Structure 1
């Protein structure tokens, strides 16, 4: 018998996912803009269970943490946005912009004179297409304001994750647009709160929808909660 599932996510998002996907052995995830590899992490509990995945990260400090901690994952220092490259993402004093002229997939470049940081931009479907995995069991979109932009223009024939978790308040305009895009792509919203929305593909709805359709409270007592005190 396996040890109790260790929940590392802030709002037990991983518990909801594990309830639906615990039957999958050595599954695969894609996490867009995770905040930390261990603290308040949706994927850490799965990583500890032998799952592997891709972490797409734009912030250099967070990228460095994932490279040190998730050595068995593929950690990509990229900005995920709609559209095709070659584009670069520029950050300076908290601002950001995109410009053409450099190929995607190269290491970050620091400009000491302008204090700018250039990070390659890649479309979500291109990122998923590069994943050498037959199935993506869940895709997490951690950038709530950009969720709709990530999905706009997505080619769902390339890859269809079983479950999509979006860090978004369904009442926000961007989340409403995201919801419409996912519905048009054949995804059904199963459960949501003010922080997260869970969707399942039409192909997997009969198998997974019920397990994704209610809050994780019923599983908390059987989970070991990491990095928190009660």
Structure 2
């Protein structure tokens, strides 16, 4: 047995006692940890979420951090097979396998060799084609409005604490399909690709949220955090 010098043992104890342990993020850019800070300001420890473009129960997930802490919610993704996977790994949640858009119908869905890139936006799909990423299939997928999903699946009397939307360039169609007077999450996370802070005020998706009394509070590289003005005081 190797005897360690006393100072090594003391250093180990100091590190354990005084250096905080890092928190594990499941999001692609740490969105879940930013969101936890925002909700923590309001002392919201558990609640209900809606995840549009949920992708996977744990990988690149903005909601799994919260699910592990007792939250539950609605997950929506268009990729066939998603519901089966979520139902197995996220049993408290409600999972819906369909697309979300401004009008109901059927749309072409571009499936990549990296499923996180899948999209209904043909323009965005063309941008993503590269030596590393390519389209492996196109599918005809049923699409409904966000309002209809919430009308049919949000449990009665439940308020939405946060909604996350990651749709690879299809965000405007999703945002415009909700009834923001009826369904008002306290926080809305939206992936706005190729949008820097200086251009946010004129972004057509952000303008919808501004008109419905939301304001931008924070961002990661691609994701913006909007908060409902009536739920979050200006001091936050």
Do structure 1's residue 123 and structure 2's residue 145 form an aligned pair?
yes
Structure 2 gap ranges (5+): 1-20, 113-118, 122-136
The equivalent position to 1:164 in structure 2, one of 176, 188, 198, is 188
Structure 1 residue 124 displacement after superposition:
1.1
CA contact (8 A) 2:181 2:212 kept: no
SS across alignment from 1:199: strand
Find the aligned partners of 2:178 and 2:169 in 1 and give their Cα distance: 17
Aligned residue among 17, 22, 44 for 2:64: 44
> Does the aligned pair in 2 maintain the 1:129–1:159 contact within 8 Å?
no
* CA shift for structure 1 position 144: 3.7
**How big is the shift at 1:96?**
6.3
Structure 1 unaligned residues grouped into runs of 5+ = 98-114, 211-230
Specify the alignment match of 1:139 in structure 2: 163
Conserved in 2, the CA contact under 8 Å of 1:165 and 1:196? yes
TM-score with structure 2 setting the length: 0.69
SS state at 1:30 partner = strand
User: What is residue 35 of structure 2 aligned with on the other side?
Assistant: 17
Equivalences for residues 95-134 of structure 1 within 5 A? 117-130=139-152, 131-132=154-155, 133-134=157-158
Contact preservation (8 Å) 2:146, 2:177:
no
Change (3 A) 1:187 1:61: same
2:230 equivalent to 1:176: no
Q: Find the counterpart in structure 2 of residue 206 from structure 1.
A: 233
In the comparison of the two structures, how many residue pairs are matched? 187
C-alpha distance after superposition, 1:152-183 (max 9, x if no partner): 2532122100000011233479x811111111
Task: Quote the offset at 1:65 in angstroms.
Answer: 2.2
Note the aligned Cα RMSD (angstroms). Answer: 2.9
Of 40, 46, 53 in structure 2, the residue corresponding to residue 26 of structure 1 is: 46
The change in CA–CA distance for 1:205 and 1:125 in structure 2 (over 3 A counts) is same
Given that 2:190 and 2:223 are in contact with CA atoms closer than 8 Å, whether structure 1 keeps it comes out as yes
SS in 2 for 1:7: coil
**Equivalent in 178, 191, 198 of residue 218 of structure 2:** 191
Instruction: Confirm or deny: 8 A CA contact 1:168 1:194 kept in the other structure.
Output: no
> Retained in 1: the 8 A contact 2:111–2:139?
no
Q: Which has the larger radius of gyration?
A: 2
Give me the whole-angstrom Cα distance separating, in 2, the residues matched to 1:18 and 1:185.
24
Q: 1:177 to 1:48 in 2, by over 3 A?
A: same
Asked if structure 2 preserves the Cα contact closer than 8 Å seen for 1:5 and 1:45, the reply is: no
Change (3 A) 1:182 1:117: same
